[in-house]
Amino acid sequence: MVLTNARVIDGTGGPPLESASVHIEHGRIVSVVSSEGEPSPAGALDVEGRTVMPGLIDAHAHLSSDISRSPGFGPPPALKGELPRPRELGYFVLAKTARVLLAAGVTSIRDVGSYDDEAIALREAVQLGIVEGPRILSCGRIISATAPGGAIFTTMYREADGVDDMRRAVREQLRRGADFVKLMATGARSVLAEDPEPAQMTAAELEAIVDEAHRLGVRVAAHVEGLGGARLAVEAGVDTIEHGLSLHRDAALLDAMARAGIVLVPTLSTFHDLAERFTDKFAPALVEQAKRQLEEAYATLAAARAAGVTLAMGHDSGPPGDNAIELVRMIDGGLSSLEGISAATRGSAQALGLPDVGTVAPGAVADLLVIDGDPLADVRVLLQPEKIRMVIQGGETVVSRA
Ligand SMILES: [Zn+2]
């Protein structure tokens, strides 16, 4: 496959290449060269006026079919008098989610917590070609200290206490088929009985998880809200910080993240959800807390950018397919369009630990979007599915609105 006359945004943050040809063979990009004045090779697809960029990568998602987390997920709740909705409906919702994500240009996604093993089941369904969907990485269950959140999130969590139990919890996730490990370094903003400020695990517990995961070759994502947990997580050597909204209060910690290559996934959208969108769904004290956290999250985005921390796009919201709103918000928060797009592509690929995706470069997996228009001029084109004319996944055209 050859795409000619494209404006190419390569995901690395460099300026776009005009009138370029992208050659794809056996699922990978072979070359990206100027096609200015060259005759189009036979069979090439002329995409004049359109932009070719890497597929979007969502580094923080909850694919779970359960509706309790965020309106927009899962089957609609039964009305009074209707039979209860069968649990199995959730799997059809997951299949639909996978297709919707792909149609919205999301070619890879990292699930950081679902009920039971739903994300792993969906990953298998996609890999087997039963449903079309993005490449999925799953953490299995989230490793948390015994905490109030466990009573709310039930089978999304594996509660563990003490270093041996932490190691066992990591091993259990790999036994389930997890691709990486997610831990709760602090409490969660969505749980009234948890204070998100202090560390929820001890340094020794965090270190045990990171040691076990890294020795076995998988990465570690840390849910971090307050600074206490942020410090322990960075010192323990986690690979990604999720949310991390307090980091603007400690410049040295951001510097340490930049030096160590720890990626920040700011998840601005989730703070908008709690502070603005679902104010009638959450306890009033949590809504008030989220208003403060929303401001902190934007302050941290700016401080992390200034410190040179690698940023990734994590929507952490719904409905599926609206993921690029997080990219829009990162740009509203001070990133340039180019920086935002590289966060949503190469930055996120770095968060996932997938060096082969997230760029338009020779050797990279051909996960590409063909966009009607120029997302550098108006990134909101990525929110309009009809503008995403093609989604190419591993060299195969999986969505075509040509
Ligand atoms: Zn989340």
- Say if residues 156 and 190 touch (Cβ distance below 8 Å): no
Each residue of 361-400: pLDDT tens digit? 999 999 999 999 999 999 999 999 999 999 999 999 999 9
d(CA 267, ligand 1 centre) in Å: 8
Q: Sort 384 into a burial class: Cβ within 10 Å, 0-12 / 13-18 / 19+.
A: middle
Distance 222 CA to ligand 1 centre (A): 10
Taking the centre of ligand 1 as the mean of its atom positions, its distance from the CA of residue 200, in whole angstroms, is 17
Q: Looking at the predicted structure, is the pLDDT value of residue 39 above 90?
A: no
Q: Which long-range contacts (CB under 8 A, 24 or more apart) does 117-121 make?
A: 117/176, 117/177, 118/63, 118/64, 118/65, 118/90, 118/91, 118/94, 119/63, 119/64, 120/176, 120/177, 120/178, 121/91, 121/94
Question: How many whole angstroms from 60 Cα to the centroid of ligand 1?
Answer: 6
Q: How far apart are CA 323 and CA 314, in angstroms?
A: 8
Compute the distance from residue 293 Cα to the ligand 1 centre, in Å. 15
Query: Nearest to residue 303, comparing CAs of 231, 251, 227?
Result: 251
Instruction: Give the pLDDT band of residue 74 (cuts 50, 70, 90).
Output: confident
Q: How far is the CA of 113 from the centre of ligand 1 (A)?
A: 7
Using alpha carbons, select from 218, 194, 205 the residue that is nearest to residue 165: 205
70: pLDDT strictly greater than 60: no
What is residue 69's predicted lDDT score, i.e. its pLDDT? 54
How many A from CA of 388 to the centre of ligand 1?
26
| Spatial distance between the Cα atoms of 381 and 137, rounded to a whole number of angstroms | 27
In the numeric block, the tokens 């609609």 are attached to 76
Q: What is the pLDDT of residues 184-199, one digit of tens each?
A: 999 999 899 999 999 9
Residue 315 Cα, ligand 1 centroid: separation in angstroms? 8
From residue 397, alpha-carbon distances to 204, 229, 354, 391 in Å are 48, 43, 21, 6
* Other Cβ atoms within 10 Å of 249 Cβ, number: 15
pTM of the model: 0.96
Residue 113: enclosing H or E segment and its boundaries?
A: none
Query: Which band of pLDDT confidence, cut at 50, 70 and 90, is reported for residue 77?
Result: confident
pLDDT, residue 88, reads: 86
What is the predicted pLDDT for the residue at 75? Answer: 79
Q: What is the model's pLDDT at position 36? A: 78
Q: Residue 85: pLDDT band by 50, 70, 90 thresholds?
A: confident
Q: Looking at residue 72, what is its pLDDT? A: 61
Residue 402 has pLDDT above 80, yes or no: no
Which pLDDT belongs to residue 348? 98
Question: How long is the chain?
Answer: 402
Please give the pLDDT value at position 78.
Answer: 86
Span from the CA of 144 to the centroid of ligand 1 (angstroms): 13
Closest CA to 64 of 136, 147, 162, 127: 136
Let me know: does 368 contact 55? Beta carbons within 8 Å: yes
pLDDT in tens, 317-338: 988 999 999 999 999 999 999 9
Q: Which of 76-90, 132-146, 233-247, 256-270 has the lowest mean pLDDT?
A: 76-90
The single-letter code of the amino acid at 251 is A
The rounded Å distance from CA 148 to ligand 1 centre is 16
